[in-house]
Structure 1
Amino acid sequence: MRSNTPNPISLKFILICLFFLFLVFLVLRSSLSSSSSQQNSSLISALYPSSIIATESYLEQNQSTTTDTLAPTCTKISPSLANALVHYATLNITPQQTIKEISVSLRVLEKKSPCNFLVFGLGHDSLMWTALNHGGRTVFLEEDKSWIEQVKRQLPNLESYYVAYDTKVTQADELMEVGMKEECKVVSDPRLSQCGLALKGFPSEVYDIEWDLIMVDAPTGWHDEAPGRMSAVYTAGLMARNRESGETDVFVHDVDRVVEDKFSKAFLCEGYLREQEGRIRHFTIPSHRARLGRPFCP
């Protein structure tokens, strides 16, 4: 009886054919995969510009660097600002100027500070002005000795000087006529001026410094027997004109009152007026020494 076992030669041939077909399958699969990858790359390139892909790659590579750059840093606030924060956080008295009025001077200080800032008047807002002019020199001129001593006990670092005034609000019309005389149109050091409105009793260094900002918020001017701000406004304008070069920003508060209104327009000049907000006016007065022949008012 014959055996049912396949012929060994036929079996070997079948195995070789299967192996050959398997190799062909692998080659075709690899080729298809490569072709698909190239198609995908082409599709991505078409859909997304190369600059975007490059940017994404850059951000991935520099992610750690960007994170380090954006990390917050710890710095201390200035001592003047720290003192101001504590002072006003514990003070129940509101400064005389409104926030809109203060903002007029603040905008100038943001550009010019640290600078030289002269203030007629020592008040509850004095520490604020000093803090806003951090790194600069802020000087206050005050008519009341007892008030200076009281403020110094609380805020010993403020620089203030006593100033005596010999005028009264009732003399305003008379002093306006004085200011219209030719000797009051001459630009010079107030100590050498022949004008009866020029104040000559300040400490010498007040005259020697070129002030970038001058705030006239004193002396007292709300009643007839008060000194009034006639001479203060005129002298502020004279000091601004007498600087070597550049310009001085002069602010006058309480311009809703007759004296402050008339004297600021006459001696700081409406042509130099830059802004009015509420009761404060801002004038920008250029040096008259840098340009000889410039008229007192434009």
Structure 2
Amino acid sequence: MRPKPHRLSNLKILIIGVFVAFLLLFVLRSSFSSSNSDAFLPKDSKIVIGRAENCSRTCGKIPPSLAQALIHYTTSTITPQQTLKEIKVTSRVLQKKSPCNFLVFGLGHDSLMWAALNHGGRTIFLDEDAVWIERIRRRFPMLESYHVTYDSKVNQADELMEAGKRPECTAIVDARYSMCQLGLKGLPGEVYDIKWDLIMVDAPTGYHDEAPGRMTAIYTAGMMARNRADGETDVFVHDVNRVVEDKFSKEFLCDGYMKKQEGRLRHFTIPSHRDGMERPFCPL
């Protein structure tokens, strides 16, 4: 989530292109809505027509959040850590589902992009580094982010994998009340209450033995998806080239729910396990 500056001109072009596509879609939707409204307006109603025309001009403007994102990524020398193809996987889902509820484990240089692509929806970022959160907040105060404390370490991954196979870890319950050692219980209350449409796991840090690792984040993302009342949740895990992300995503998000892998990113679509259908933890 926090890449070093590097030259990825193709990635920058993609990001700008994605924003332009969303802007065009936004303008077309506004124009279409305005045209449909005009068709039902009485011809002699000048006041109503005037309002409709006024609304058309207002609704066709670029939202400030998207404008700021365009300016930021056009002028920035720092590009997101995910590759062009990896970003496309999530952006396609967002294009279909936004505005929606999007939970992101991690806060970084790509956060403004995800929030802008989910324009009109709610995007929440969770990060383990309080100093980093304050730094990003100063630059982008419109981003909603929270500090999270993890009590796990990468060197405990094997132990946590075994714990995750116990009955209390396969029971479908609200993660904050779970008896499973892998369940994250210290998140802000609204994170548990919101029905998430998309969840991205791109944090916490997991590249050395003493780092928190993403074991609990991956497990909790899967349980939030299963515990929703109905529908399905798209879950994305980045850095699956690493052992923890590879094994834990397959075990707790399930191979049978995986829709696509592109580079280091995996996309899972997990249905509700509380919708009245009898489902095993992982599909057979």
TM-score by length of 2: 0.78
Query: 1:181 and 2:166 equivalent?
Result: yes
Distance 2:63 2:246 in 1: 37
Match for 1:219: what amino acid? P
Match of 1:194 among 156, 161, 179: 179
Q: Within the alignment, does 1:170 sit opposite 2:155 as a pair?
A: yes
CA distance in 2, matches of 1:192, 1:169: 24
Corresponding residue to 2:129 among 131, 139, 144: 144
Equivalent residue for 1:130?
A: 115
Q: Which is worse superposed, 269-278 or 285-294?
A: 285-294
Q: After superposition, what is the alpha-carbon deviation per residue over 1:193-237, rounded to whole angstroms, capped at 9, x for unaligned?
A: 111000000010000000000000000001111000000000000
Q: How does 1:95-106 map to 2 (within 5 A)?
A: 95-106=80-91
Residue 214 of structure 2 is aligned to residue 229 of structure 1: yes
CA distance in 1 between partners of 2:260 and 2:277 (Å): 27
- Give 2:249's match in structure 1, choosing from 239, 245, 264: 264
Name which of 59, 77, 84 aligns with 1:92.
77
Q: What does residue 49 of structure 2 align with?
A: none
Q: Alpha-carbon deviation of 1:292?
A: 4.6
Query: Paired residue for 2:41?
Result: none
| Alignment deviations for residues 75-113 of structure 1 (CA, whole Å, 9 cap, x no partner) | 311211101011112211121101100000011001100
Q: Which of the numbers 268, 273, 276 marks the counterpart of 1:283? A: 268
Residue matched to 1:78: 63
SS in 1 for 2:104: strand
Matched residues in 1 for 2:170 and 2:202: separation?
A: 23
Counterparts of 1:89 and 1:152, CA distance in 2: 20
**Between Structure 1 and Structure 2, how many residues are aligned?**
226
Moved more, 115-124 or 284-293: 284-293
3-state SS, counterpart of residue 269 of structure 2: strand
Match of 1:219 among 204, 209, 218: 204
One-letter amino acid of the counterpart of residue 260, structure 1: E
Q: Quick one: distance in 1 between partners of 2:83 and 2:255? A: 23
Q: Which amino acid aligns with 2:245?
A: E
Q: CA RMSD in A?
A: 1.0
Tell which structure's C-alpha radius of gyration is larger: 1
Unaligned runs of 5+ in 1: 1-72
Match of 2:139 in 1: 154
Distance in 1 (alpha carbons) for counterparts of 2:276 and 2:246 = 28
**TM-score under structure 1 length normalisation:** 0.75
